[in-house]
Amino acid sequence: MRFKYSKPGIDIIPETLERTKQDKALLHGQMTAISHLKKQPLRNCCILCHDSLEQAALFTHRQLAYYLCCRCHHIQSQHIPSEAYPTDTPAGLSFLDVYPKLNTEQFVFRQNRIYKPKYDWIRESLIEFGINEKEIQQKSFLELGAGAGYFLATLKDAGIKHFKGIEQNNFLCNIGNAHLGGNYIQHHQETLSSAIVCHEAQIYIAFFVLEHIQDVKDFFKKLSLAKKGTILVFSVPVFSFATLLESAFEFHAGRNLDNAFHVQLYTDDSIAYALNMAGFSIINQWLFGQDMSDLQRLLTVQLNNRYPPYLEKMMQAKLSAMQDSLQSHIDYAQFCDSRHLICIKEK
């Protein structure tokens, strides 16, 4: 297995600034959401390995209880969220608040900043693994949770012939298909496991999707039926430095284990457990995170109006200047907030 570490934080500055602006409202929504979740039924078995949680360790994160499964080390809320959680809560948090509608120029800007580097990394890794450029271009891609189609647009630009996506949110499907100029993203309301069965592909992509699903075990079991040589590329948030910041300080809105969109969290062990169940091996891992950006946001929110403008300006400049170098230490220690993985079915 190969590793790649870090990336410049500059490519996510617009999203970070937006998040800082919305911080108070998001935090309020997250706190309202947990009072709703706490009324839901208790979980008996692990969402990933289905083992009983009777012996599992319990801990509290921002006033919400979580289990750490003692078999697979997957982290999950003690209460089972409803299918629509957190959008069915009084605060009505929705994905659209996180992903605002963009015009063509903004769409391409976001695509090139965030999604093109992901494709470049996949392409380079596969070539290094022995799959040549022509073979990559002829493979069929399916993106699970394609959102507004940024990654599919990158595949189209890269000359990939066969690609499509599925997405639960019809609004995002329409935005994506309009930008892509065709019906590439299908509205999919069933489980993600059913998508694997209905839409066969040679390369499955799932960026920040698998932490949202309830049928985790079924999903990896279905993948175990995929043909030898099938490739799975996915990213998930993990227990990290960002999780600690959220647990130790409750001034800023959560992002990593936010008790709203994220009520389960992978660990390196639970990722290994899932891949073993599916019969996939990791070819390459890219480790980077936004942990330091969270630290800056937390300090900005907490110290707002505390200092005269001269000191405030110095604080922001110094924190920004430190961000990438400190984040790279977290990345190399493998304690950053997410994992990007390229995996292959070996048998």
- The residue ranges that bind Zn ion (CB under 5 A) are 46, 48-49, 69, 71-72, 74
What is the closest distance, in whole angstroms, from the C-beta atom of residue 48 to Zn ion in the complex? 5
The token pair at 234 is: 């996915």
How many alpha carbons fall within 13 Å on the CB side of residue 223? 32
Q: Measured from the CB atom, is 274 or 343 closer to Zn ion?
A: 274
In the complex with Zn ion, the residue whose CB is nearer, 243 or 267, is: 267
Measured from the CB of residue 306, what is the shortest distance to Zn ion in angstroms?
44
* Cα(295)–Cα(293) distance, integer angstroms: 5
In whole angstroms, the minimum distance from the beta carbon of 61 to Zn ion comes to: 18
Kindly tell me which of 49 and 185 has the beta carbon lying closer to Zn ion.
Answer: 49
Q: Which residues pair with 45 in a beta bridge?
A: 52
Whether the ω angle into residue 308 lies within 30 degrees of 0, i.e. cis, is no
Confirm if 212 and 261 have CB atoms less than 8 A apart: yes
Minimum distance of Zn ion from residue 69's CB (angstroms): 3
Is the CB of 55 or the CB of 104 nearer to Zn ion? 55
CB of 217 to Zn ion, least distance (A): 9
Q: How far is the CB of 157 from Zn ion (least distance, A)?
A: 40
Q: Would you say how long the chain is, in residues?
A: 347
Tokens, residue 111: 């695509």
Please say whether the beta carbons of 84 and 159 come within 8 A. no
Tokens 């570490």 correspond to 5
Closer residue to Zn ion, CB minimum distance, 78 or 230: 78
Residue type for 93, please? L
First-residue to last-residue Cα distance in the chain: 17
Helix (H) or strand (E) holding 325: helix 309-332
Of 49 and 175, nearer to Zn ion (C-beta) is 49
